[in-house]
Amino acid sequence: MACGLPIISTAVGGNAAYFKNSKNILLEKDSITEKYCKAIYDIMDADASLEISNASRQKALDYDWKRIAGEINEFYTDLNNNYKK
Domain count within the chain: 1
Would 50 be classed as within a structural domain?
yes
Would 43 be classed as within a structural domain?
yes
Print the domain residue range for 50. Answer: 8-84
Would 77 be classed as within a structural domain?
yes
Would 2 be classed as within a structural domain?
no
The predicted pLDDT at position 21 comes to 57
Would 31 be classed as within a structural domain?
yes
The predicted pLDDT at position 20 comes to 62
Residues 6+ apart with CB under 8 A from 68: none
Distance CA 76, CA 1 (A): 29
The continuous run of DSSP H or E covering 26 comes out as strand 26-28
Provide the whole-model pTM.
Answer: 0.53
The predicted pLDDT at position 75 comes to 95
The predicted pLDDT at position 78 comes to 92
Per DSSP, helices labelled H in 26-64 are 33-43, 46-61
Would 1 be classed as within a structural domain?
no
The predicted pLDDT at position 72 comes to 94
Would 76 be classed as within a structural domain?
yes
Would 21 be classed as within a structural domain?
yes
Residues 6+ apart with CB under 8 A from 36: 8, 28
Mean pLDDT by 10 residues, the chain (85 residues): 75 70 62 77 78 81 87 93 79
